[in-house]
Amino acid sequence: MKTHSFTVSVLVALAVLAAVPAAAFEAEQTFRRGTFVVSGEGAYGWQLDLEDNRDFSALEFWDAGLRFSLLPFDTFGKGTLVYGALEVGLGPLYQRYVEPQRRFWAGLSAVARYHFLSVGRFVPYVELAGSAGGTDLELPEIRSDFAFLIFGGAGVSVFLTDHAAAYAGYRWQHVSNGNTSRPNRGFESHVAVLGLSLFF
């Protein structure tokens, strides 16, 4: 299945990245307050059937996104398990549905990501995002020209240098038009993401 082969590809990519030698990683320098971050990412997702609906659409889609972020604060909690840094960003996100119909969602996402810095160049993170945009979805779950897209997730960045990191993660995603039109049952999805961040 496409879903399983993509998941395996993500795991293989992480293993390869882990084997790449990196320059000495200085978390305090990389994540200093005022650092600007540019991230580009791609993702693959598939719809969940949480309610066992008879008219479940079984959507599959891919994403492309670009994010411009800032580290607004100093690192937090040095010497503890929560030692880390907050990243806040904004950027365009495009989602292309490929099964069972070819549709799209495109909009702007605001993302908050917290990086955990206690394990060297391997930097786990958690993230939360809210987005609004246009769409042409015509499904039993949603039919509208506008929809909100929210996601939460976790992953890990692997720093290849002090200023460049590849990352992979998982997201749980929800799409809804916020009852601005009917129907609006909305839908949830699993999403696997790969990306690259540059720190300036």
pLDDT in tens, 44-57: 999 988 777 777 88
How many domains, the chain? Answer: 1
Q: Locate all alpha helices (DSSP H) within the chain, ordered by sequence.
A: 2-19, 27-30
Q: Which two tokens stand for residue 88?
A: 């806040």
32 has pLDDT over 60: yes
| Contact partners, residue 5, CB within 8 Å, separation at least 6 | none
| Cα distances (Å, whole numbers) of residue 114 to 84, 101, 168 | 7, 35, 14
Strand, helix or coil at 131? strand
pLDDT recorded at residue 49: 84
Give the structural domain span for 88: 2-199
Burial letters 29-39, b for 16+ CB under 10 A, else e: ebbeeebebeb
The predicted model gives 144-151 an average pLDDT of 94
d(CA 180, CA 3): 32
- On whether the CB atoms of residues 86 and 74 are closer than 8 A, the answer is no
The model carries a pTM of 0.84
What CATH number should be reported for the domain holding residue 47? 2.40.160.20
Per-range mean pLDDT, top range of 12-16, 27-31, 137-141, 183-187: 27-31
pLDDT recorded at residue 22: 43
- On whether the CB atoms of residues 97 and 127 are closer than 8 A, the answer is no
Strand, helix or coil at 15? helix
77-82 long-range CB contacts below 8 Å, 24 or more apart? Answer: 81/116, 81/118, 82/116
